Homo-oligomer: A and B are copies of this chain.
Amino acid sequence: MADRFLALDWGTTNLRAFIADAAGRPLLRRDFPLGVAGLAPGEAAQRFVNEVRPAMQAEALPALLCGMIGSTLGWQAVPYADCPATFSGLAGALQRVEAEGPPVWIVPGLRTQRPDGGPDVMRGEETHIFGWAMADPGRQRGTHLVCHPGTHAKWARVVDNRIDQFVTAMTGELFALLRTHSALKVAGAVPSDSAFEQGLAAAGDGGALASRLFTARARVVGGNMDPKDVESYLSGLLIGAEVAATPALLGIGQGADIAIIGDPALCEHYRRAMDWHGYAASLFDGEAAVLAGLAAFYRERHPC
C-alpha cells in the first residue's frame, strides 16, 4: 500500500484537503473554495483532476473523499448505507468513481429511521463519527452518544462501533435565519456568556420553541435585555432546546456521557449546554476526526 493518501472532506460550502499517512497524521493541509453548492454538473471530477490533486502534489496517490461530494450536487450520487451501519460494512461499501490516475473512492452517507418516524440522512459526519471511534478502542465497545454540531447538527447513538440510529437538528440554520432575516435580528451583537446562559434557562425542556424564541424580542421591547445580547441569548436558547430534547429522542438518559465532534468554539457552546442539563461532555476536534476516519477506511481497503 501507498504509505500516504489524499484525504478530502468535501462539503456544501468548502473543500478541506490533506495529505495524510495511513495512521491519519496530516502531512499537508489546504482549503479550496469548491463547496459542492457552487459546482456545475460534472465540475467536481474536473476540478479534482486538474486543480486539487495537482495543487496537493498527489497525482500518484489514492484518494478518499467524504461529505456532500457523494450527493447529486457533487461528483456522483453514492447510495446511502442503511443504519445500523458497522465500520467494516461501510468500508466495504466505498464507491470507486471514474477518474484518470490512482483510484478515487467516496464514502457513502447513511440513512436511518428516526425514532419519531420518517427517515433521516447524513453525508460526511459518518466519517467523523467512525474517526472518533477508531481513535480509541474504548469507544468501540458499549453505547455512546455522539453530537456533531453545525448548520445541521447530527446526533448519533453508537453501539459496539456501529452507528445504530441518528437524528438531525437544524439548529445552526435556524440561528442563521433568525439573526439574518427575522424580526429578532439586531445590529452590533456582542458575545455574552450571561446572555447565553439566560437563553439556556429560557429553553426549558426544549418544547414550545416557536413561542420561547419570541421571548428574545419581548425582552428587548420590554426593556429587559440589551439588543446587543440577543444573538447570544438566541444561541443559548436554540442549543439549549436541542440538548434538552435530543438525547431522549435516541433513548439516552440524563447524565450520560456525550462526545462532541467539530469546531472547538462551537463545541464549547454545546459543552456548556450539556453541562447545564447534567450531561458529561468531552470534545473531539472535527479535523482530527475526519482524518482518523478517512485513514481508518483507507487501512481497511489497503491492509498492510
Q: Is B208 a contact of A249 with CB atoms below 8 Å?
A: yes
Q: Is the CB of A173 within 8 A of B167?
A: no
A168 within 8 A of B: yes
Query: A211 and B242: CB pair below 8 A?
Result: yes
Number of interface residues of A (CB under 8 A): 50
A119-B173 in contact (CB<8A): no
A121 touches B218 (CB 8 A): yes
> Cβ of B121 and Cβ of A211 under 8 Å apart?
no
> Does A178 interact with chain B (Cβ within 8 Å)?
yes
Q: How far is the CB of A35 from chain B (nearest CB, A)?
A: 13
CB contacts (< 8 Å) of A101 on chain B: these are none
In the bound complex, do residue A167 and residue B211 qualify as a contact, i.e. CB atoms below 8 Å apart?
yes
- Tell me, in angstroms, the Cα distance from A238 to B213 when the chains sit together: 13
Contact of A218 among B151, B168, B204, B238 (CB under 8 A): B168
| Residues of A in contact with B (beta carbons under 8 Å apart) | 80, 111, 114, 116-121, 151-152, 167-171, 173-174, 177-178, 180-183, 201-202, 204-215, 217-219, 221-222, 224, 238, 241-242, 245-246, 249
Q: List 6 A-B contacts (CB under 8 A).
A: A118-B215, A118-B219, A174-B210, A177-B177, A211-B245, A211-B249
